[in-house]
């Protein structure tokens, strides 16, 4: 599946942090109705891609490292799931008997076209534009 639950939760985490304030995991979970174990896992991925930063210690938590004005849905989705393909056969390393040589699969070509359109659309607006808010 293209947009996984993890991807959705990634966007919800970014939305929770959109005001620019530092929040602990429990605050994010409460605000977006998420479970802590899942949020920790996704926050690690978002931190690795430098979308969020973590603060250690008793006053620790998480905050956005990038502004919502520069982040798109695609940025968040790719941070959470770098193998963002509509179907497994679209992965470059996946061999398919129907998509070899001069006889490329017509379904594969159409799905590639659709995915290209989807990627373009997912990167066409910032989170700020989608939320219709002013930046913190």
Residue 136 included in any domain: no
Phi, psi of 11 (to 5 degrees): -65, -40
Residue 87: pLDDT over 80: no
Q: How many domains does the chain have?
A: 1
The overall average pLDDT reported for the chain is 88
- Is residue 78 included in any domain, yes or no? yes
The pLDDT, as a whole number, for residue 44 is 97
Over residues 99-127, the mean pLDDT reads 84
16-31 pLDDT, tens per residue? 999 999 999 999 999 9
CATH number of the domain within which 15 lies = 1.10.10.10
For residue 122, being part of any structural domain is answered with: yes
- Decide: 10 and 126 in contact? Cβ < 8 Å: no
pLDDT of 102 higher than 80: no
Q: What is the model's pLDDT at position 101?
A: 63
Angle, alpha carbons 105-109-111 (nearest 5°): 115
pTM of the model: 0.85
The domain of 29 spans 5-131
Tell me, what's the pLDDT at 80? 95
pLDDT in tens, 41-54: 999 999 999 999 99
């Amino acid at each position: 599946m293209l947009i996984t639950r993890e991807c959705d939760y990634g966007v919800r985490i970014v939305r929770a942090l959109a005001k620019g304030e530092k929040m602990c995991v429990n605050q994010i979970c409460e605000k977006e109705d998420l479970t802590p174990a899942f949020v920790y896992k996704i926050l690690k991925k978002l931190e690795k891609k430098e979308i969020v930063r973590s603060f250690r210690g008793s006053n620790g938590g998480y905050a956005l490292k990038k502004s919502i004005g520069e982040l798109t849905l695609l940025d968040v989705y790719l941070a959470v799931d770098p193998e963002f393909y509509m179907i497994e056969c679209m992965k470059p390393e996946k061999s398919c008997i129907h998509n070899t040589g001069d006889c490329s699969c017509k379904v594969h070509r159409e799905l590639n076209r659709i995915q290209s359109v989807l990627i373009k659309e997912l990167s066409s607006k910032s989170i700020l534009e989608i939320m219709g808010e002013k930046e913190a």
